[in-house]
Amino acid sequence: MAMTLEQLGAFVETVKKGSFKQASIKLGKHTSTVSGLIANLESELGMALFTRKPRSLEITEQGKEIYRYAQSVIRECDLLDVKANSLLEGLPSIFTLAIDSDLMGPDISGLCAKLLAKFPSIEIRILSLDPMQVRSHILNEQADIGFGITLFRGHHELTLADGYSFNVVFAASPQLDYKEKFVSLEEVRGMLQVSALFMKQLDQDDTHNLSSRTIYSNNLRSSCDLIKYVAAWAMLPEFICKEDIESGILDKMYLSPTASERPNTWSTEISWLTAKPRNPVMNYVIEELAKLPNR
């Protein structure tokens, strides 16, 4: 059997368009050429793919079965062509992004969609981790690019680039009755705080922990959920708890008289191994992450 891709392409396009003439326009061929290609395909297969009527074509039952397989063959050939081109361009087969789970959202989903559109042959892996794991995965070469909340210190093996910034608020359980109130440090010390575990792991808990009693969490979204049920407060990204504060599920309190005018801000960082050669995929992801607006 010596069928060709040209024959299969003519057949698939004719099924889609419903006639040799419309398929020929789409393919940029003469109508007689398209009908000839399909006639040769039918000869190779030993079956009729269409019932030819004076003014129309009707695909046969056997033709419907062949159509499904023909589509698959053409699709795989297109992917093969894309893959071959990507290899010639020196693109990796797999790209892994390690991302702080607290930063997952529509902007990251949108980035993945653009990445797939630009590099369709690449297998993309998204790892949702805590901030310390993001850095660990880059250092251990388990991921190509890391994106997480800034860890407030560099690493000699990593190159770091600035990501977006975001406001941080002091969110509290309504049980504490501190809604829109200024709370003194003396009062805060007696309250229960849900604190970010990565701050303790970085020995930054002295600057982050303001209360004498602390619960540690390695996920800020989990911290937000926790203070809905426990009489405690937490320092949280505003984009995580804003909806709960606006709906009254959580309260916002202030530790500084000017906090409502000058909110506290944290930032994100993009990281990769300095010794690892950057490829076009890495460059694209770094550029796109750097473009994300502040939250």
pLDDT at 153: 83
pTM above 0.75, yes or no: no
Amino acid at 52: R
Give the C-alpha separation, 141 to 138, whole Å.
Answer: 5
Burial class (CB in 10 A: 0-12, 13-18, 19+), 32: exposed
Q: Is 28 left (phi over 0), alpha (psi -120 to 50) or beta?
A: left
Contact 255, 185 (CB under 8 A): yes
At a CB cut-off of 8 Å and minimum separation 6, what does 251 contact? 171, 172, 173, 174, 176, 177, 178, 179, 180, 245
HSE, side-chain direction, 13 A CA sphere, residue 169: 22
- Phi, psi (deg, nearest 5) at residue 217: -135, 140
pLDDT value at residue 87: 64
pLDDT number for residue 178: 94
Determine the Cα–Cα distance for residues 166 and 268; give it in Å rounded to an integer: 8
End-to-end, the C-alpha distance of the chain in Å comes to: 60
Model pLDDT, residue 82: 64
Distance between CA atoms of 74 and 97, rounded to whole angstroms?
31
In order along its 295 residues, the chain shows pLDDT tens digits of 678 889 989 999 999 998 899 999 999 999 999 999 999 999 889 999 999 888 888 999 999 999 988 888 888 777 666 666 666 666 788 899 999 999 999 999 999 999 999 888 888 999 999 999 999 999 999 999 999 999 988 889 999 999 999 999 999 999 999 999 999 989 999 999 999 999 989 888 888 899 999 999 999 999 999 999 999 999 999 999 999 999 999 999 998 766 556 678 999 999 999 998 899 899 999 999 999 999 9
d(CA 169, CA 171): 6
Quick one: which of 192, 164, 167 has its CA closest to 178? 192
Which tokens hold the place of 72? Answer: 């698959």
Residue 277 burial by Cβ neighbours in a 10 Å radius (0-12, 13-18, 19+): exposed
Q: Among candidates 217, 216, 263, 237, which has minimal Cα distance to 163? A: 237
Say if CB 251 and CB 170 are below 8 A apart.
no
- Nearest-5° Cα angle at 102, 289 to 279: 30
What's the pLDDT score for residue 147?
98
SS3 call for 19: coil
**Torsion over CA of 170, 176, 182 and 188, rounded to 10 degrees?**
-70
